[in-house]
Amino acid sequence: MPWHDPEPGLQVLAVAFHGQSPAFLHWARVSRGWHTQGLGAAHPDATPPRPWTEVGRCWAGEQHAVVDVTESVEARL
């Protein structure tokens, strides 16, 4: 849970809400933090990267558990 767990190692390139499809919404590791991507990403081109502690926060401001989806996201590329 990003709000109290340390940021994962560099091998984790993408995370998504537990139980949700990464194609809908996931956070991708970028040079300055984590950036939302997927069909459910709100204005991904205009939204700046966020720090790890904000990953997993939904539109309602609630924190949710996230899981590593690196393999799933890489398979779609």
The answer, yes or no, to whether residue 77 has pLDDT greater than 60, is: no
- Total number of domains in the chain: 1
- 32 CB burial (10 A radius; 0-12, 13-18, 19+): exposed
pLDDT given for residue 45 in this prediction: 82
pLDDT given for residue 76 in this prediction: 67
On whether residue 48 sits in a domain, the answer given is yes
On whether residue 5 sits in a domain, the answer given is no
* Predicted confidence (pLDDT) per residue in 40-67, tens digit: 998 878 889 999 999 998 889 899 999 9
Question: Mean pLDDT, to the nearest integer, of 24-28?
Answer: 94
**0.75 exceeded by pTM:** yes
Structural domain containing residue 56: 14-76
Question: Mean pLDDT, to the nearest integer, of 24-48?
Answer: 91
Tokens of 55: 């990953």
On whether residue 58 sits in a domain, the answer given is yes
On whether residue 71 sits in a domain, the answer given is yes
